[in-house]
Amino acid sequence: MDLVLFLTFAIIAVVCGLSMALQRHPVASALSLIGVMVSLAVLYVLLGAEFIAAAQLVVYSGAIMVLFIFVIMLLN
């Protein structure tokens, strides 16, 4: 079961990472970055590092991505 979850979220992280790099619109790229961060948090949970997963979600997916979206909207 762990192997299936690992492979699923690893593939999601790679696909979202490629989508982030290849997107033409900055908001879509930022949303793909959120997908990468969430899938990395799930991978941390699978490794048994729940605190790092929670910090990943709160700090990166929450605070940093809000700043990214704010800057993107400010520059447009």
Q: What is the mean pLDDT of each run of 10 residues along the chain (76 residues)?
A: 94 96 88 92 94 91 82 81
pLDDT of amino acid 52: 94
Task: Copy the structure tokens of residue 57.
Answer: 């979600």
Close Cβ partners of 14 (under 8 Å, ≥ 6 residues apart): none
Nearest to 70 by CA among 62, 38, 6, 54: 62
Q: What is the pLDDT of residue 65?
A: 80
- 76 three-state secondary structure: coil
Helices assigned H by DSSP within the chain: 2-22, 26-47, 50-55, 65-75
pLDDT at 12 (0 to 100): 96
Predicted confidence at residue 16, as pLDDT, reads: 95
